[in-house]
Structure 1
């Protein structure tokens, strides 16, 4: 039975034996020989089945490709020539957006690591001051006696360096001045915290440190995992700070007028713990990113400073809630 002739232009092989050349109705101006080629066209190459079951090739046409090679793919439009698709790309599907998003995530991870490394160093210095003032009796007695005036010096240094770091972006972004100013701030605040802790019993201070660590860890995990965007609550935090400030002034006035009131101090400390807990969530989400507002990767000093203040103030508030001064 006759098989289909080969197609020499694209180098295709003939179908297996037994394929039949199905008849087609005649079309005017075309013949049934060779796929309905026009009348007068040269006959297709012959196929001798009885000899060696090979084609009798003719001369291949002068093309940019040779017989047996695959057909060239059509040229893509110019606007798609530099686009590559990947399963990990974003909604637009471009490799450029994927590379930029990957780079942003890598920068953000490096920023987070730097902020928390600075924070751990600051907390380690503060813990060292607290332990020094608690366990060394000579230093503890000097701080509570003639050396108490140095507390006010450290308080003034704390305020000056804090406002410099907050209000002067050129200072906190320029190395090494930013680290020097942050180191002075940390030493001053650590001295203040150690001085306050020295007026409490050792067991209460250690218990407050443990509670602070657990509370801050829980708040940080919640801030990273929750879908609630607390960076949009800056107005609410400002209102709560003003309420806390006014309540603190009222507490001082009532203390001078009627003496010490434990219940009033507990209410004030509870409100302060709530406010600084919200600030810890707010600052954590600003550092981690992925929210409406986030810190720039250049603001690692600012981010570490805010987290450090939140953690230390939560410790002092817990200390005042559960401890009693000596």
Structure 2
């Protein structure tokens, strides 16, 4: 994250007059805009591929009782899926080279997405199919609406990172309390708060892509990590919406 101009933008050697300086500024901003547009398209392309793979994995596992019982009843397989999800994510988080080096970054992203797809399938397995489909539809509608809002609003959400992080820590603590007490009302309240928080994270992360007049932005070489951030926002939003629908229906599985 950086609030400085992309290192890929080069200012041409214009003269020293005020008019030439203004021309150089316009040319630099135009070049930055072109790079940023390509970056945004790349991020959303990767994000779409991640979501498609996740849905296909879920449909394959949950759509077949044989595969479902074989996969979800195998603790070792689920542990492997967790490792496939967390190890590439941590490697990408700590290694700048891994995030920027093609095709290593895409390979790590693919491994992470496969592991995450299996874990999401395991999380949704205990819910009725109609609730899962409804949650998918609501998540899709909410995500599209939030992305449209992030792209059009004049309000800058990129300066709210510290507040969102504090809210995330609070949600984690509340989740531990909810797991211990396991009361329906508390579960519904935590799930509603989680859905609201990750809705805000979607707006925050989308605005981080845009650059422009926003206070903070993601540099164009961080396209893999940017896609993963939004992907995790959407997955968490989906899981919280799923829990909300389940609690509202009255299922206590």
TM-score range, shorter chain: 0.7 to 0.9
SS of residue matched to 2:220: coil
Q: Is the 8 A contact 2:99 2:105 kept in 1?
A: yes
Deviation at 1:280, TM superposition (A): 0.9
Q: Which runs of 5+ in 1 are unaligned?
A: 1-77, 85-91, 255-259
Higher RCO, Cα 8 Å, sep 6+: 2
What is the match of residue 301 of structure 1? 224
1:96 and 2:24 correspond: yes
Query: Is 1:201 paired with 2:128?
Result: yes
Tell me the residue number matched to 2:84.
Answer: 157
Hey, which of these two has a bigger chunk of helix by percent?
2
- What is residue 234 of structure 1 aligned with on the other side? 161
Please state whether the residue corresponding to 1:228 is helix, strand or coil. coil
Q: Determine the C-alpha separation between the residues in 1 that align with 2:72 and 2:82.
A: 16
Match of 2:186 among 231, 245, 264: 264
State the TM-score, normalizing by the size of structure 1.
Answer: 0.68
Q: Provide the aligned length of Structure 1 versus Structure 2.
A: 234
Structure 2 counterpart of 1:322: 245
Across the aligned residues of Structure 1 and Structure 2, the Cα RMSD in angstroms comes to 1.9
* Unaligned 5+ runs, structure 2: 1-14
> Do 1:142 and 1:148's aligned partners in 2 also have CA atoms closer than 8 Å?
no
SS in 1 for 2:155: coil
Quote the residue 1:55 is aligned against.
Answer: none
Match of 1:187 in 2: 114
In structure 2, distance between residues paired with 1:325 and 1:187: 29
Matched residue SS, 1:298:
helix
State the TM-score, normalizing by the size of structure 2. 0.87
CA distance in 2, matches of 1:163, 1:274: 26
Q: Shift in Å at residue 193 of structure 1?
A: 0.8
Contact 1:199 1:325 in 2 (8 A): no
Mapped to 2, the partners of 1:318 and 1:109 lie a distance apart of 31
Q: Give the C-alpha shift of residue 149 in structure 1.
A: 3.5
